[in-house]
Amino acid sequence: MEPPSAHFGEDGARLTYGTYLRLSELLDQQRLETDAHDELLFITIHQVYELWFKQLLHEVEAARDAMFDDRLWWARHLLKRVHEIERILIEQVGVLETMTPQDFLQFRAQLAPASGFQSVQFRELEFISGAKDEAFVQRFRGLTEDERSRLRRRLDEPTLWDAFLAVLRTHDLPAGSDDEVGASLRMAAHDRAEFGDVWELAEALLTHDEMAAGWRARHVTMVERMIGTKTGTGGSSGATYLRSRLDLRYYPSLWELRSWL
């Protein structure tokens, strides 16, 4: 019988760090369109964003399912991880801002018609969080069939908010109308001895909402610093469009609750 160490790394030559992480394939995905020095940074940052988006989708799907199963401790644990990842997303903007507008302009023209507006995973995150927008699917014609199918699925499936309403009902808190939801939230807030788990979950959802809002705000100021009021790549209106999204809230009921406490 082989010792356990024979299955790892150089001892067994079966699975190495590089082969497990598929590093040769991963590090071959940064294909530059120009010889501009900062294009590698631009590509790397956005590919890392997409990897984090993939992880976030993995976590919020599991958190949603945990809420439907009334496993609130697990949902809160997963949402805490979501918060930490979202903090990283915000901090990553600072790395991108080490690129000057002049350096960006050296390769920006080569990006058209690509645009961050086209990030399907980001839209999936918005949809599953509660901000479904079928107009995006209709507006963007560059979607592949797989991407369109993924977004359609997100439009049809329950959101985190749907799962939270199910939690309220499971804990005998009415959640049929907006007024009932508001009353149930106030009940949970004022009786944390009885509804502490529900309250903590509501706070975890609010933090997710707050972090998403923080990322949008940080993103738009970065874009304004980089290109001012220029039209964005891909035909978007750039900072003007991004500013129009700053007031987006996934869970307005949780924000309104603050006025009633």
Phi, psi (5° rounding) for residue 191? Answer: -130, 70
> Pick from 44, 82, 49, 90: which is nearest to 63 by CA?
82
227 is in an annotated binding site: no
98 is in an annotated binding site: no
CA angle, 80 as apex, 61 and 85 as ends, to 5°?
Answer: 80
Between CA 107 and CA 112 the distance in angstroms is 10
Quote the tokens at residue 197.
Answer: 């788990």
219 is in an annotated binding site: yes
> Pick from 145, 160, 156, 147: which is nearest to 121 by CA?
147
Q: Which residue has the tokens 């600072």?
A: 94
Is the preceding omega at residue 252 within 30 degrees of 0, hence cis? no
Quote the tokens at residue 9.
Answer: 């790394």
43 is in an annotated binding site: yes
Buried b / exposed e along 96-107 (16+ C-beta atoms within 10 A) = beebeeebbebb
108 is in an annotated binding site: yes
Between CA 83 and CA 81 the distance in angstroms is 5
- The 10 Å Cβ neighbour count of residue 228 is 10
Between CA 132 and CA 124 the distance in angstroms is 9
88 is in an annotated binding site: no
Between CA 232 and CA 202 the distance in angstroms is 36
195 is in an annotated binding site: no
77 is in an annotated binding site: no
- Binding residues for heme, as ranges, are 219
- Binding residues, as ranges, are 42-46, 108, 219, 233
- Binding residues for substrate, as ranges, are 42-46, 108, 233
